[in-house]
Structure 1
Amino acid sequence: MMKHMTGTREEWLEARLALLDAEKDLTRRSDDLARRRQELPWVRIDKDYRFDTDVGSASLTDLFAGRSQLLVYHFMFGPDWTAGCPSCSMIADGFNGFAAHLSNHDVMLWAVSRAPLAKLQAYKRRMGWTFPWASSHGGDFNFDFNVSFTEAQQREGRVEYNYERGGHAMDAAPVPPAVAELAAGCGTDAASFSRDRPGLSTFVLEDGVIYHSYSTFARGLDGLWGSYQWLDRAPKGRNETGVWWRRHDEYDEPAKSPAASCCA
């Protein structure tokens, strides 16, 4: 039985126009936030970070590939995991399409993970992805940008993520069922899973010097999670009761177009 309110077209239009005003206000505030992000002070990076890539060892400067701006998605894939995080995988499913547009607008997009390059390459083939993905295995990059933590930090309660200590679901005790479920899907335990976190860090290269310009974590990544942007506009919204998403090759029923279904 339908429980949602119904109305006439005239009533719908009146409500829609009121909502339109709120949407326009949100757009203006979002534009203002974007400007404030760009106005943050830049922090010079002098550390010599090294990465393993498909074409060999690379520096942070190399990841710019001739552009002046670099976006790094911190993809959760620990060194001992058997697969990448399903949530990060859902986000990364959108990278293939817009990475080419960004690279032609002076911006390089990379995913970076702590897993060895061979694991990243195998998982990338499985997922059918083509965007660049580098391994920071054995380096400090993930730790310095607050998306990876040591076992000692975790044991001593010194994990600072999303600009605060504790308070995140991955730090909760007992372990939330969603965290345990996602960890099992990566072939690891909840504690090991929680030592890597998602995030986005951005950099700029000017006069041969690299600067860190911005980082965001947790719900700050919502805008990159393309499926949620669609769900927020669907009649029932996100409609969640737990971890409903899977890697795109793990759903029981692959998506079909209406034409394919009619002709099957």
Structure 2
Amino acid sequence: MTTALPEIVSQEEWQSARDALLIKEKELTRAADAVAAERRRLPMVRFDGKYEFEGPRGRVTLLDLFEGRRQLIVYHFMLNPGQKAGCPGCSLVVDNIGHLAHLHARDTTLYVVAPATLPEIERYKERMGWTVPWVSTDGNDFNPDCGIDGGFGVSVFLREGDDVFRTYFTTARGGDQLVSTLRYLDLTPLGRQEAWEESGRGTDGPGHWWKRHDEY
């Protein structure tokens, strides 16, 4: 495939084009800030904090997952009972989770949950080299009650004492915001090299090139 490369110009022409794009980038940043503010103002719904999960230290509740912090982010991972490997896209998301100390510093805990049994989860975590905390939803209705029917998603919860509230949920391309790999690729001239981006820059469908990191 012949890749359509950017036009070659002088430094002055490049700087002018860059300055013009910067205006749009700042507009996009301000728009994203406004959406984030509206997201923070979403109403919330009371949620049962007594859901039980199987974790490395035994049975724990949804309230326990907060680990005493006020906020909880849950990534619903696609790994079902009997599967030896998790979803490549979900695996890319978990690969991109940074050091949790930064979230903890803002009173926020993050957990990954999956319907697979705990031993299946632990085997896959070991293969991938992950240390992020996981629990199994096997045997409870947490995922369906969060609107997860075999897919993936992100749920956000707030704790007020022992009361738990659900404040946000996203799925599909809403998960893109969690993947720094995509953010880096979006800075490059070839981008993600997917067909929807630019004519002649790629042929892959959205996410079709994603693999588990030990399979490239």
TM-score above 0.5, yes or no = yes
Instruction: Map 1:1-264; keep pairs closer than 5 Å.
Output: 3-4=4-5, 5-46=7-48, 48-95=50-97, 97-148=98-149, 196-240=150-194, 241-242=204-205, 243-251=208-216
Instruction: Give 4+ residue runs of structure 1 displaced > 2 Å after superposition.
Output: 1-4
Quote the offset at 1:141 in angstroms: 0.5
* Mapped partners of 2:81, 2:101: distance in 1: 28
**AA partner of residue 119 (structure 1):** E
* Mapped partners of 2:3, 2:161: distance in 1: 62
* Mapped partners of 2:99, 2:133: distance in 1: 12
Quote the offset at 1:127 in angstroms: 0.6
Deviates more, 1:55-64 or 1:42-51: 42-51
Secondary structure in structure 2 of the residue aligned to 1:52: strand
* Mapped partners of 1:222, 1:41: distance in 2: 23
Secondary structure in structure 2 of the residue aligned to 1:98: coil
Give the corresponding residue for 2:198. none
Secondary structure in structure 2 of the residue aligned to 1:92: helix
Quote the offset at 1:66 in angstroms: 0.8
* Mapped partners of 1:69, 1:47: distance in 2: 13
List per-residue Cα deviations over 1:233-263 (Å, max 9, x = no partner): 1110110214222111112xxxxxxxxxxxx
Quote the offset at 1:146 in angstroms: 1.2
Quote the offset at 1:3 in angstroms: 3.9
**AA partner of residue 11 (structure 1):** E
Give yes or no for contact 2:49–2:164 (8 Å, CA) kept in 1.
Answer: no
Give the corresponding residue for 1:187. none
* Mapped partners of 1:76, 1:62: distance in 2: 22
Structure 2 unaligned residues grouped into runs of 5+: 195-203
Secondary structure in structure 2 of the residue aligned to 1:236: coil
What is the aligned length?
A: 203
* Mapped partners of 1:114, 1:7: distance in 2: 53
Quote the offset at 1:71 in angstroms: 0.1
Quote the offset at 1:45 in angstroms: 1.1
* Mapped partners of 2:137, 2:39: distance in 1: 26
List per-residue Cα deviations over 1:19-53 (Å, max 9, x = no partner): 00000011111111111111011111136311011
* Mapped partners of 2:135, 2:100: distance in 1: 15
* Mapped partners of 2:147, 2:187: distance in 1: 32
Quote the offset at 1:226 in angstroms: 1.6
Quote the offset at 1:2 in angstroms: 6.7
Give the corresponding residue for 2:200. none
Secondary structure in structure 2 of the residue aligned to 1:6: coil
Structure 1 unaligned residues grouped into runs of 5+: 149-195, 252-264
**AA partner of residue 96 (structure 2):** G
Quote the offset at 1:144 in angstroms: 0.8
Task: Please identify which structure carries the higher helix content.
Answer: 1
**AA partner of residue 186 (structure 2):** D
TM-score (norm 2): 0.90
**AA partner of residue 35 (structure 1):** A
